[in-house]
Amino acid sequence: MSTLYVTEPPTDGKVLLHTPKGEIEIELWSREAPKACRNFVALALEGYYDQCVWHRIVPGFIIQTGDPTGTGHGGESFYGAPFENERHQRLRFHRRGLVAMANTGEHNTNESQFFITLDATPELQNKYTIFGCVGGSTIYNVLSLADVELSATEPDRPVYPPKLLRAEVIHHPFTDLVPRITPAERQAQQEARTLAAQRQGTMERQRKRPKKNTTLLSFGDEEDAPLVTEKKPMSSHDLLHDKRLSKETMRPSKSAAQPPPAAQPALWPEPEPMPKPSPSPEPQPAPELQAPPPPTPAAPPPSSVSSLAALLQAYKKDRGHEHDTLSRLDAFQKRMRSEAPAPQRHARSHEAQSEDEQDMREYGDDDDDDADWRSHTFQSDGRPLQGNDPLSVHDYQVVDPRATRGSFTAALSSHRERQAHEKARAP
């Protein structure tokens, strides 16, 4: 190994890199690669490399840094534009600890990123500019930086990238070199950019936040004020129940000599149970029940007033028939409820009960035969209906024994026991 070191030219310049794993000494070949060394020293004096992360680590190959964005796609040179590669016949990738400029693989794409080799890499020869080497035993700190956990999705990306805390220039031969900015000024600029980005983000979030309804009274914190939401357009279904719409129909005037023109129908009229003729100016009570007279042929009305009177007379007759039909139907329903005896609804003989129990033992209580009328029962609020219950047909509920299973069997047995007990107590 000593013979290899002798073949390399002497160094002129030193930069100290401070890392969490210790210090790394970088010795510069400022005469063999003056542009690369001048760029590296100037950026270090400006504090450009401070707090940069080692964004790319390939075990047994290289570790790379020099991008303030930490993505591997950023960075700029001291010259304001990329510069060309510098080659020297005595500088070769034949060992670990060599420092070289990183680029895109093309000749004139060097900017601020650099890498340190972890082993001999002859495949990189004449593609990248070597401008320094790691001095002394600090090479072991470089190896410690490479011992990190790598990401599963990005093989060259560390899960927790170590940082280049600070780059300190110990010595350099460029006496005419003047930094563009001091490290303190660069840090102040970075803090200002960070603060501006935070303010911009806050303004964006406030702009996207819905406005508060300041017209409503609030006795709590301002944050508890209700938010104003955009009113959704009303559909035709919603307009049917809109209180602002009038439900009264237009009535014709008595003094009208001619029939009024056909009124425009409402956009969303109220549904009527049955069609009705034109309404009268004043509502009249329904006439008493009487036998309808035989129909007589209606003579053609001489005028519009007589036609309206004929229609009103026909409407009164139809109302009388309708009222008579409804009264008879109501009376029939009341008579059917009062005359239906309870034993006919619920009472069953002991023979029928024994047959049901035998069927349950033979076929089980989960029989799915819907043809049997005993597979359903009428219930009201969870209890069987009695014969004298003042309930209508709308109060019944059909219970499927396949859904209830054991609860239906238990309820049926309890009902039969209660019937047997009442029958035994009867005189």
pLDDT in tens, the chain (427 residues): 445 546 899 999 999 999 999 999 999 999 999 999 999 999 999 999 999 999 999 999 999 999 999 999 999 999 999 999 999 999 999 999 999 999 988 888 999 999 999 999 999 999 999 999 999 999 999 999 999 999 999 889 999 999 999 999 999 999 999 888 888 888 888 788 888 888 888 888 887 776 666 655 555 555 555 555 556 666 666 666 666 665 565 665 555 455 555 544 444 444 445 544 444 444 455 555 555 566 665 555 455 556 777 777 777 776 666 667 778 888 888 888 876 555 544 445 566 666 667 666 665 555 444 445 444 555 555 555 555 555 544 555 555 555 555 566 677 777 788 888 887 877 6
Task: Name 48's Cβ contacts closer than 8 Å, sequence gap at least 6.
Answer: 68, 112, 167, 186
Burial of residue 1 (CB within 10 Å: 0-12, 13-18, 19+) is: exposed
Q: If we measure between CA atoms, which residue out of 55, 99, 101 comes closest to residue 82?
A: 101
- If residue 133 lies in a helix (H) or strand (E), which one and from where to where? strand 130-134
CA dist 347 → 97, 359, 388 (Å): 104, 19, 13
The model carries a pTM of 0.48
| Phi-psi group of 28: left, alpha or beta (phi > 0 → left; psi -120 to 50 → alpha; rest → beta) | beta
pLDDT for the residue numbered 191: 84
Give whole-number Cα distances, 124 to 86, 115, 158, 386, 391, in Å: 13, 12, 23, 100, 97
Output the CA angle 358-361-365, nearest 5 degrees.
110
Does residue 267 contact residue 238 with C-beta atoms inside 8 Å? no
Give the per-residue pLDDT at 334. Answer: 83
Distance CA 169, CA 16 (A): 6
Task: Tell me what pLDDT residue 264 has.
Answer: 46
Of 176, 173, 174, 192, residue with least CA distance to 184:
192
